[in-house]
Amino acid sequence: MGNPKGFMEIERKEGGYRPVNERIFDYGEVEQTLNEKDRVDQASRCMDCGIPFCHWACPVGSKIPEWQDAVYREKWGEAYEILHSTNSFPEFTGRVCPAPCEKSCVLAIHDEAVTIRENECSVVEHAFDLNIVKANIPEYRTGKKIAVVGSGPAGLSAADLLNQAGHSVTVFEQDDAVGGLLRYGIPDFKLNKAVIDRRVELFEQEGIVFKTNIRVGVDISHEALLNDFDAICLACGAMEPRDLKADGRDLNGVYFAMDFLKQQNKVVRGDELNDEARIMAKDKKVLVIGGGDTGSDCVGTSIRQKALSVTQIEILPQPSTRRSDENPWPYWPNTLRTSSSHLEGCERRWGLATKRFVGKEGKVVGVEVVQVEWIGTNGQMTMKEIPGTAEVIEADLVLLSMGFVSPVHNGLLDSLGVDYDPRGNVKTIDNVTNIDKIFAAGDVTRGASLVVHAIRSGRDAAAKIHQFVDR
């Protein structure tokens, strides 16, 4: 490294968030950026340690010390080339990845980790500003045709690498725009959709064909795909939401989180939606059930829609702010995470199980919950209700954000006859399904997970498909 004492001389510095009293009135990206000098200084904190555990923790194997060194030397083009060599779109992960690399940074053992994620985003944006990022059109075509079903991060990753290998790639997307959960599941205040459009435009220039509003199995048969293409990559995600089967579930005002978020993302885009169909938090007491990232996104969106109040509940106990002895570095820390949305005005409660939805005249007016404790026995955790702790939380909008159980089986997957694993995901061995010519990547194979895992899975699937069609 250019500055071997950087980690001793310079403290971690983050861009931070825009002021709360400013950002809650728009859907602009919340995160701020540091100036170039600060970025260079932060890159100098990378220690060039003998065994970079950040490599181990990053699903795409980002060569972090290498591109951080390039940033320190202000070689932004070099930094981008290194970064892009393992990740088709670091501008996405630089914004929405929870940065497991930072949690495994050697510096994090006794000090604050290197700012990897923020520097990653800065590298990409510098590269675009300097016109370094350009379409890389393949010099030859193999004559092989590949269909990718789904345009989320896994599908886009697979499509990019297969296209660069010279194959002709067509991506089928059931929604009206490319991006999957990147576009419709993540709010604009975390990921501006112009960032997606910018990359998709490059992919189109490079020869990838995108067909939107196409439901494979309905608008085009899987038999047609099998006949017309040399291989198919299933990258249709895990979109079957986990429901809450409790009394009153059918009351008006109880919705899945993704329905709420997708609507708002379309509105931000400029779509006009029927007022009767809109799910609106304005002047309502909002209850978000589920404590994950999607729940946090519901919190931030509800606040921007001018909710009267927002409460988020989680059935699990409140995590500690520090690692336990059973959860040592360099593993992912099971500690309390506070998002930018939580800082905007939200009550968070833990250890609450939902008993029933309370209604009046067909509309939800509250949710009955009870406190629970978790008891560990022989390595197994069991939940026990605490007597006398039942209460009703007032709510006239309830958003269910409890994750996803599996891919949607009904339709394409069932008609194809792919095998499922015990969790209901498409069963694969190294991205290969039980059906000839059909491969799978991303959440459809592992369940809902991180964007960076999907990117890696798409990359691995691309390698298997290339090997298959190139035989």
Q: Determine the average pLDDT of the residues in 408-431.
A: 95
Query: How many CB atoms are located within 10 Å of the residue 296 CB?
Result: 24
Instruction: Measure the CA–CA gap between 431 and 312, rounded to whole angstroms.
Output: 37
Name the strand (E) or helix (H) holding 196: helix 193-205
pLDDT band at residue 132 under the 50/70/90 scheme? very high
pLDDT for 49: 86
Region(s) of the chain under CATH 3.50.50.60:
145-239+405-469, 243-402
**CA dist 336 to 114, 323, 342, Å?**
20, 10, 12
Per-residue model confidence as pLDDT tens digits over 207-250: 999 999 999 999 999 999 999 999 999 999 999 999 999 999 99
Tokens of 265: 């993302």
pLDDT band at residue 4 under the 50/70/90 scheme? confident
pLDDT for 454: 97
Per-residue model confidence as pLDDT tens digits over 265-275: 999 999 998 88
Q: 100 forms bridges with which residues in the sheet?
A: none
Give me the architecture of the 6-129 domain, per CATH: Orthogonal Bundle (1.10)
Question: What CATH number should be reported for the domain whose range is 145-239+405-469?
Answer: 3.50.50.60
**CA dist 136 to 142, 164, 237, 244, Å?**
16, 8, 27, 47
Per-residue model confidence as pLDDT tens digits over 18-51: 999 999 999 999 999 999 999 999 999 998 788 8
pLDDT for 1: 60
Give yes or no for a contact between 204 and 210, defined as CB atoms under 8 angstroms apart. yes
Could you tell me which of 45, 19, 46, 41 has the C-alpha nearest to residue 32? 19
Widest CA span in the chain: 71
Query: How many CB atoms are located within 10 Å of the residue 353 CB?
Result: 18
Q: Is the pLDDT of residue 379 over 80?
A: no
pLDDT band at residue 351 under the 50/70/90 scheme? very high
Give me the architecture of the 243-402 domain, per CATH: 3-Layer(bba) Sandwich (3.50)
- The mean pLDDT value of the chain amounts to 95
Instruction: Measure the CA–CA gap between 454 and 448, rounded to whole angstroms.
Output: 9
Residues of the chain with pLDDT > 90, as a percent, come to 93
pLDDT band at residue 86 under the 50/70/90 scheme? very high
| Helix (H), strand (E), coil (C) string for 293-352 | HHHHHHHHHHHHCCECEEEEEECCCCCCCCCCCCCCCCCCCCCCCCCCCHHHCCEEEECE
Q: Determine the average pLDDT of the residues in 360-378.
A: 94
pLDDT for 376: 82
pLDDT band at residue 464 under the 50/70/90 scheme? very high
pLDDT for 308: 98
Q: Determine the average pLDDT of the residues in 363-392.
A: 93
pLDDT for 2: 65
pLDDT for 274: 87
SS3 content of the chain, % helix, strand, coil (to 5): 35, 20, 45
Which pTM was predicted? 0.95
Name the strand (E) or helix (H) holding 391: strand 391-394
Instruction: Measure the CA–CA gap between 79 and 95, rounded to whole angstroms.
Output: 17
Give yes or no for a contact between 46 and 6, defined as CB atoms under 8 angstroms apart. yes
Instruction: Measure the CA–CA gap between 344 and 348, rounded to whole angstroms.
Output: 12
Per-residue model confidence as pLDDT tens digits over 300-326: 999 999 999 999 999 999 999 999 998
**CA dist 442 to 234, 407, 445, Å?**
9, 11, 6
pLDDT for 224: 93
Q: Determine the average pLDDT of the residues in 99-123.
A: 95
